[in-house]
């Protein structure tokens, strides 16, 4: 390809890892665009200010299409057809649910690769109300053949996994959240990390709920597995690590989203699966994401109370 590849001046002086996943997305994507001329960035009016460096540095490889998420995704597929690696970004419900058929037909059915990076996980946009929530994104994306889904727990984990996976010829969804864990874990694409071993149950913590799950399971005789890639689901680690009792999911999206993956991973062995996560209710409150977490029991105390009920003493 004969495009220009000037590094964005905005990325030079900053440390590689940012404090938030959103800021990290900008640093990582701009760094990858500087190093790889095949990468193109498509925005739909969200992130335009944050990505101003890329938009300025790469006038033909970075584009804000305006508020048209379906065309955002189809245009990304068109660029993928021509050998580019598209990165498409906007708020979760509009990227995933509004443009779902474009992701399905134009990427999955055609066998094209690209990265879909969302912000606004579950109720991160709490003050905006239910139309801006997306606790169902992972569930519907899991229905798509070939779709890969990453739920990082820290900015550093996003950076590592994105750099390792972006050039694979597969559609990949990155679910960025305001909530984050305090420290990076050795999370690689497609692999779960075993953080505790125990016999009474296996707790599966997903992405930014790890710290709460760790605190909640302190002192309990449980295996604790940390998942950042949820599709494909690392069934091997679960099979190897699960020593008995129920499998308890701690999910930052709709509770039970990963139940079929757990059941399939342990088959033909029967397993009791319990799920702690966002309930399938219309969430009409505003306030802060932390207030939603507290109301839904997605705090260390709330999760601990549920674990006490679910796990045999």
Least separation in angstroms between residue 167's CB and another protein is 16
Site mask for another protein (CB under 8 A), range 104-143, x = bound: -xx--xxx--------------------------------
Q: What are residue 279's DSSP bridge partners?
A: none
Q: Which is nearer to another protein, 76 or 245 (CB)?
A: 76
Pairing of β 229-231 and β 148-150? antiparallel
Q: Which is nearer to another protein, 99 or 225 (CB)?
A: 99
Q: Which is nearer to another protein, 70 or 194 (CB)?
A: 70
Cβ within 8 Å of residue 45, ≥6 positions away: 64, 66, 67, 90
User: Distances in Å between the alpha carbon of 197 and those of 201, 240, 273?
Assistant: 9, 11, 18
Site for another protein in 39-78 (CB under 8 A): 40, 60-61, 63, 65-66, 68, 70-71, 74-78
Site for another protein in 7-46 (CB under 8 A): 40
Phi and psi based region of residue 132 (left: phi greater than 0; alpha: psi -120 to 50; beta: remaining): alpha
Site mask for another protein (CB under 8 A), range 187-216, x = bound: ------------------------------
Least separation in angstroms between residue 85's CB and another protein is 11
Q: Which is nearer to another protein, 111 or 279 (CB)?
A: 111
Least separation in angstroms between residue 223's CB and another protein is 42
Q: Which is nearer to another protein, 70 or 241 (CB)?
A: 70
Burial 17-41 (b: 16+ CB within 10 A, else e): bbeebbebbbbbbbbbbbeebbbbb
Least separation in angstroms between residue 132's CB and another protein is 20
Question: What whole-number distance in Å separates Cα of residue 280 and Cα of residue 130?
Answer: 12
- What's the sign of the alpha-carbon dihedral 90, 210, 228, 230? negative
Q: What are residue 13's DSSP bridge partners?
A: none
Residues in contact with another protein, total (CB under 8 A)? 31
Question: What whole-number distance in Å separates Cα of residue 11 and Cα of residue 205?
Answer: 32
Least separation in angstroms between residue 32's CB and another protein is 16
The single residue among 1, 19, 48, 267 that binds another protein, judged by CB under 8 A, is 1
Pairing of β 273-278 and β 222-227? unpaired
The single residue among 35, 81, 164, 264 that binds another protein, judged by CB under 8 A, is 81
Q: Does 82 bind another protein (CB under 8 A)?
A: yes
Q: Does 154 bind another protein (CB under 8 A)?
A: no
In the chain, the N- to C-terminal Cα span, in Å, equals 62
The single residue among 12, 19, 101, 168 that binds another protein, judged by CB under 8 A, is 101
**Does an H or E element contain 139, and which?**
helix 137-141
The single residue among 83, 145, 268, 312 that binds another protein, judged by CB under 8 A, is 83
Q: Does 167 bind another protein (CB under 8 A)?
A: no
Q: What's the residue count for the chain?
A: 313
Phi and psi based region of residue 149 (left: phi greater than 0; alpha: psi -120 to 50; beta: remaining): beta
Q: Does 79 bind another protein (CB under 8 A)?
A: yes
Q: Which residues bind another protein (CB under 8 A)?
A: 1-3, 40, 60-61, 63, 65-66, 68, 70-71, 74-84, 86, 101-102, 105-106, 109-111
């Amino acid at each position: 390809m004969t495009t220009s590849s000037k590094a964005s001046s905005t990325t030079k002086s900053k440390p590689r890892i940012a404090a938030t996943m959103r800021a990290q997305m900008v640093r990582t994507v701009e760094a990858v665009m500087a190093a790889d001329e095949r990468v193109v960035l498509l925005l739909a009016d969200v992130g335009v200010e944050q990505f101003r460096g890329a938009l300025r540095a790469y006038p033909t490889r970075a584009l804000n299409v305006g508020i048209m998420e379906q065309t955002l995704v189809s245009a990304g597929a068109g660029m993928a057809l021509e050998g580019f690696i598209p990165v498409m970004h906007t708020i979760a419900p509009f990227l995933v649910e509004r443009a779902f058929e474009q992701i399905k037909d134009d990427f999955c059915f055609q066998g094209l690769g690209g990265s879909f990076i969302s912000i606004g996980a579950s109720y991160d946009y709490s003050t905006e109300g239910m139309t801006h929530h997306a606790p169902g994104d992972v569930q519907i994306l899991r229905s798509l053949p070939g779709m890969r889904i990453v739920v990082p727990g820290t900015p550093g984990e996003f950076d590592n996994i994105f750099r390792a996976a972006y050039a694979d010829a597969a559609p990949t969804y990155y679910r960025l959240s305001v909530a984050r864990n305090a420290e990076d874990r050795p999370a690689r694409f497609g692999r779960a990390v075993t953080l505790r071993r125990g016999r009474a149950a296996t707790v599966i913590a997903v992405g930014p709920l790890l710290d709460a799950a760790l605190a909640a399971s302190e002192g309990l005789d449980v295996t604790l597995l940390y998942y950042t890639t949820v599709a494909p689901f690392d069934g091997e680690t679960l099979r190897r690590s699960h020593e008995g009792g129920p499998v308890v999911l701690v999910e930052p999206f709709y509770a039970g989203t990963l139940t079929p993956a757990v059941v399939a991973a342990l088959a033909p062995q029967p397993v009791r699966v319990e799920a702690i996560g966002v309930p399938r209710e219309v969430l009409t409150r505003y306030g802060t994401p932390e207030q939603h977490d507290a109301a839904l029991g997605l705090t260390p105390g709330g999760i601990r109370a549920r674990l006490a009920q679910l796990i045999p003493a």
